[in-house]
Structure 1
Amino acid sequence: MAEVLIVEDEPDVLLLLENRVRAAGHAVESATDGETAIDILRERRPAVIVLDWMMPRVSGIEVLEQLRADDPDHAVKVLMLTAKSQQSDIDRAYSAGADDYIVKPFSSRDLIERIAALVEKE
């Protein structure tokens, strides 16, 4: 079982993600904006972060950049889960330090499999 931080501002999507990730046997913590996610990351390091890009206050890409500045060894794995589907967005996320990228809408099964693969890379 790994600790997974889910950062998502849409309540229905957040609830779905929390339920699916818990059902896969992981401990789940969540944040509904990037600022809260950064606060959580200052106190502890989950194994995986499922991170939306477009959020209020601090965007997911800004959270990722801050995390990588604090965690240059990539101990925390980041899976971007976003509606941003342009190749330039995908390239930007990977260059900022994302470990994986899923475009919404997404398959719950694919999400769980990708989280498991990231946990195995720890």
Structure 2
Amino acid sequence: MSADPTRVVVADDDPDIRELVTFKLEQAGYVIDAVEDGAAAWETIAAAPPRLAVLDVMMPGLSGLDVLRKLREEPATRDVPVILLTARSRDSDVDGGFAAGATDYVIKPFSPRELVHRVSSVLRRP
């Protein structure tokens, strides 16, 4: 079974950010599965790997980094591109995100338009 070419999982514990990201990506033509925490993100992605996941780093329970590490360990989800969306902007945070396997790293506050462009860019990669 191949993944829906437009399906994106968005995980953020802040409902306003989750709704904004969902709205902007749906406007751009993507099908969004929005979840409120890392555990729900892991369950949703593991059950049906999407074309891309946008994960907040700081969520209760499983963080976005925890989810990313689990994705990279599992053969079925190893290649799912992940954009980390976070307020953590220190160089060491960015380096840690990429070292854990992030495809891209977007720092909050962010431009919704830029996020849509980054999602599109990641999904155009072979």
Q: Give the length in aligned residue pairs.
A: 122
Q: After TM superposition, list the pairs within 5 Å mapping 1:1-122 onto structure 2.
A: 2-71=6-75, 74-122=78-126
- Measured in 2, the distance between the counterparts of 1:74 and 1:119 equals 15
Q: Structure 1: which 5+ runs fail to align?
A: none
Deviation at 1:101? 0.4
Question: Gaps spanning 5+ residues in structure 2: where?
Answer: none
Name the % identity: 36
Aligned-pair Cα RMSD in Å: 1.4
Cα distance change of structure 1 residues 67 and 73 upon mapping to structure 2, 3 Å threshold: closer
Q: Please report the TM-score for the alignment, with normalisation by the length of structure 1.
A: 0.95
* DSSP 3-state at the match of 2:60: coil
Cα distance in 2, alignment partners of residues 81 and 14 from structure 1: 11
AA paired with 1:99?
T
2-structure distance, mates of 1:3, 1:73 = 14
Task: Name the SS for the 2:8 alignment partner.
Answer: strand
Residue aligned with 1:102, SS: strand
Matched-pair contact (CA < 8 Å) for 2:85–2:108: yes
Q: Which runs of 4+ in 1 moved over 3 A?
A: 71-74
Equivalent AA in structure 2 for residue 117 of structure 1: S
Q: SS where residue 53 of structure 2 aligns?
A: strand
Q: Please report how far the alpha carbon of residue 47 of structure 1 lies from its aligned counterpart in structure 2 after TM superposition.
A: 0.6
Which amino acid in structure 2 is aligned with residue 28 of structure 1?
Answer: I
- Scaled by the length of structure 2, what TM-score is found? 0.92
